[in-house]
Amino acid sequence: MKKVIKIANLDCAACAAELQEELEAISGVTEVSVDFVGQRVDLGYENAETLEKAVYAISHFEEVEIVDGNAPQKKDRHLKEILSIAVSLALFVPALVCQLLSVNQWVCFGLYLGAFVAAGWSVVRAVFRNIPKAFRGGIHLGLLLDENLLMTVAAVGAFAIGENLEGAVVMILYQIGELLQSIAVGSSRKSITRLMELKSESAIRITAEGQEEISPDELCAGDEILLRKGDRVPADCRLLSASASIDAKSMTGEAYFKELRAGDELLSGCINAGEAVRAKVVRPASESAAAKILELVENSASKKAKPEKFITKFARIYTPIVVLLAVIVAVVPPLFQGYNFREWLIPALNFLVISCPCALIISVPLTYFSGVGSLARCGVLAKGAVCLDALAGVKVAAFDKTGTLTEGRFSVAKTNGGAHVLALAAAAEQNSSHPLAQAFAGLAAEPAEACEEIAGMGLSATVKGKKVLVGSLRLMREHGISVEEVQGDRLAVYVAEEGKFLGSVEIEDWLRPEAATALAELKKAGVEKLAVLTGDTRARAERSLQSLPLDEIHAELLPAQKPERAAELKAQGKLLYVGDGINDTPVMTESDVAVAMGGLGSDAAIEASDFVLATDNLSALPRAVKGAKKTRKIVVENIVFSIAVKVALMALSLFGWIPLWAAVLGDTGVMLLAVLNSMRMRRKIK
């Protein structure tokens, strides 16, 4: 069983790691992921007793609270932390003045100790609360050797050797760093939670009795609604009025109005920028584009990328090793230097301070979380950080043709063979779930019996006692029927009755207007090869796609052949596949990264994908690739920078070239710089 538990007051990256380790130690917990940025715990458990133990552990972990998912988010005022630091500084400054004026050393000591207590009481309390937890059900070094213990030992050690000023400064600088970290994380969290604004608070439903204001959750497919000027669209719907002007910035990231005509689809989350209009709901609010965005962004943290998993494992091994090195530095050299332990205690304490891996633990997941949010603001929904990592390495991109590179809105353009041909085609196609069948919706047709789909080729049915075949040129040839092939860019549906060819129906489908630009931008973003996998004839596919910058066109493919071609492309580099239909699911499974068209895409395709284009706009795809590459680059920068600076500080501390307060300042500075670097992902992706 699985459960998502929403929490509050977990603003520390290391604390999140400790909570995760504590939950993992509970018998019956199968999997757990603690997301301190998104303020949630994804828990897998075996039974109700396990869940109860986990809930108890979460609610009794420091100041963490379990909150109702509908509860308003608390504002980050940081009043307690600011007050603690202010009191500490109010005691520290007089202590420093007294020391400079050579006032009684016990007065100085008392003031410094007061400054330490004011700033560090919460840190010391956390140490004593964690000690019993660290030995519950085994030894959990992550809970024992956390940043609270390291800072407490460093500060107390400084007082023990008479370095009272450094003992107080260590705790003050640490608490200032924690406050700045919390503010930075809170700022990033707010930028992500602004996506919640996509959700409408109410909807106006039009009924026979008049108008009624209801919750969007009460809307059903087929309901007619009124959208006033400035109203946010509460659910995906289709425009009934003649025209509408829509502000889709929240969904697409582009600051311009989109003009729609009657019959066009309005995605939830957009705003009506024009006069009041009417629309018909096509999907309930729970299945709308806005709901998909919110769900995927919320769930993205549970799918961690390799660097995130590496950092978690690294911190668990790295910190105990550095603590051991600190003990060695404090004990071994003095044995060969006349037992002068005091001289080596400061380098040892520096090791303890510097070993805190906060910069890595916080900056890496924060970067991925910000990356997921940035893509969402562009209309691209990522299912997790691991998906961003995969997208960053894509070298080959393959596309389905119909509904992906084309608009997928089919209509009958021409009939070759008279009204009887069109009537037979409509009779068979109206029993099909294939996207092409929508071209025949609403046409007059005789009832068809024994309708059977022939994978990748068409349909067979019985109409008025006669066997009818409707489908591709290949279908006709498979049944030995002589056919006159239709030339041109339109898709032809051939019709035969009782083994005799009667004619064809030409179906029109237009290329997406943004397709050429989007594919060109993909090339600029680093994708080396672009290909199309389609079941259409080669001649027609080449004619209809000739304006696109494609490297390869694989045509006349049956559904079973598409994964084979995808495997061949995959051998040339990491493969990205973009599709919209249920028949694309096997190819998506074969590819390294799968992208589904959110508006037109089938539920199966969306489920199998790693990314969803919520607005069906291909222009968002190159921006997603750029965003993924930028995310990966910032993650690598933070890892390399943090480790390099820490190693340098450790080396300097061995030679006694830096005081304890400088080690704390350096550690805090690294953490803040890594966090600020992570926040670059909040910028708009161009």
> What digits encode the pLDDT tens for the residues 47-106?
888 998 888 888 888 778 887 654 444 455 578 888 999 999 999 999 989 988 888 888
The answer on pLDDT for 300 being more than 60 is: no
Residue 652 is encoded by which pair of tokens?
């300097």
Active site residues: 400
Predicted local distance difference test score (pLDDT) of residue 146: 67
Which pLDDT band holds residue 227 (cuts at 50, 70, 90)?
very high
The answer on pLDDT for 273 being more than 60 is: yes
Nearest to 70 by CA among 294, 251, 221: 294
Residues 659-673, mean pLDDT to the nearest whole number:
75
The answer on pLDDT for 310 being more than 70 is: no
User: What's the CATH superfamily of 411-508?
Assistant: Calcium-transporting ATPase, cytoplasmic domain N (3.40.1110.10)
Residues 326-343, mean pLDDT to the nearest whole number:
79
What residues contact 172, with CB distance under 8 A and at least 6 apart? Answer: 85, 88, 89, 92, 115, 119
Q: Where are the alpha helices (DSSP H) in 554-611?
A: 562-570, 585-590, 603-608
- Kindly report, residue by residue over 477-518, the tens digit of the pLDDT: 999 999 888 887 788 899 999 999 999 999 887 888 899 999
The answer on pLDDT for 13 being more than 70 is: no
Which pLDDT band holds residue 316 (cuts at 50, 70, 90)?
low
Are 239 and 260 in contact by the 8 Å Cβ rule? The answer is yes
Predicted local distance difference test score (pLDDT) of residue 590: 87
Q: Which fold has domain 220-283?
A: 2.70.150
The whole-angstrom separation of Cα 545 and Cα 524 is 20
Looking at 3.40.50.1000, 1.10.10.10, 3.30.1130.10, 3.30.300.30, the CATH number of the domain 371-407+512-626 comes to: 3.40.50.1000
Q: In what order do the strands lie in the sheet with 210-214?
A: 210-214, 203-207, 224-227, 277-281, 237-239, 265-266
Q: Taking the CB of residue 340, how many other CB atoms lie within 10 A of it? A: 12
The answer on pLDDT for 307 being more than 80 is: no
The answer on pLDDT for 298 being more than 60 is: no
Domain ranges for the chain: 2-66, 220-283, 371-407+512-626, 411-508
Predicted local distance difference test score (pLDDT) of residue 676: 80
Question: What are the C-alpha distances in Å from 41 to residues 38, 83, 323, 537?
Answer: 9, 30, 29, 51
Predicted local distance difference test score (pLDDT) of residue 71: 44
Are 267 and 232 in contact by the 8 Å Cβ rule? The answer is no
Residue keyed to tokens 């895409």: 601
Mean pLDDT of the chain: 81
Which pLDDT band holds residue 577 (cuts at 50, 70, 90)?
very high
Lowest mean pLDDT among 206-215, 216-225, 388-397, 670-679: 670-679
Q: Which fold has domain 2-66?
A: Alpha-Beta Plaits (3.30.70)
Q: Which of 41-45, 109-113, 306-310, 505-509 has the highest mean pLDDT?
A: 109-113
- Kindly report, residue by residue over 106-154, the tens digit of the pLDDT: 899 999 999 999 988 888 888 887 777 767 666 666 566 667 777 788 7
Q: Which of 426-435, 458-467, 584-593 has the highest mean pLDDT?
A: 458-467
Question: What are the C-alpha distances in Å from 126 to residues 50, 185, 579?
Answer: 25, 21, 51
Annotate 339-373 with DSSP letters as a single string.
T-HHHHHHHHHHHHHHT--HHHHHHHHHHHHHHHH
Q: Taking the CB of residue 122, how many other CB atoms lie within 10 A of it? A: 15
**pTM assigned to the model:** 0.67
Predicted local distance difference test score (pLDDT) of residue 204: 92
**Structure-model confidence comparison of residues 614 and 245, the more confident one:** 245
Lowest mean pLDDT among 221-235, 290-304, 587-601, 663-677: 290-304
- Kindly report, residue by residue over 609-661, the tens digit of the pLDDT: 788 887 778 998 999 999 999 999 998 898 888 888 888 887 887 776 777 77
Predicted local distance difference test score (pLDDT) of residue 470: 93
The whole-angstrom separation of Cα 209 and Cα 621 is 45
Residues 178-204, mean pLDDT to the nearest whole number:
66
**Dihedral sign computed on CA atoms, order 245, 248, 252, 254:** positive
Residue 165 is encoded by which pair of tokens?
């000023």
Lowest mean pLDDT among 252-256, 362-366, 611-615: 252-256
Predicted local distance difference test score (pLDDT) of residue 226: 93
The answer on pLDDT for 315 being more than 70 is: no
Predicted local distance difference test score (pLDDT) of residue 70: 46
Residues 565-582, mean pLDDT to the nearest whole number:
88
Predicted local distance difference test score (pLDDT) of residue 279: 93
**Structure-model confidence comparison of residues 666 and 553, the more confident one:** 553
Nearest to 316 by CA among 455, 173, 140, 148: 140
Q: Is 498 left (phi over 0), alpha (psi -120 to 50) or beta?
A: left
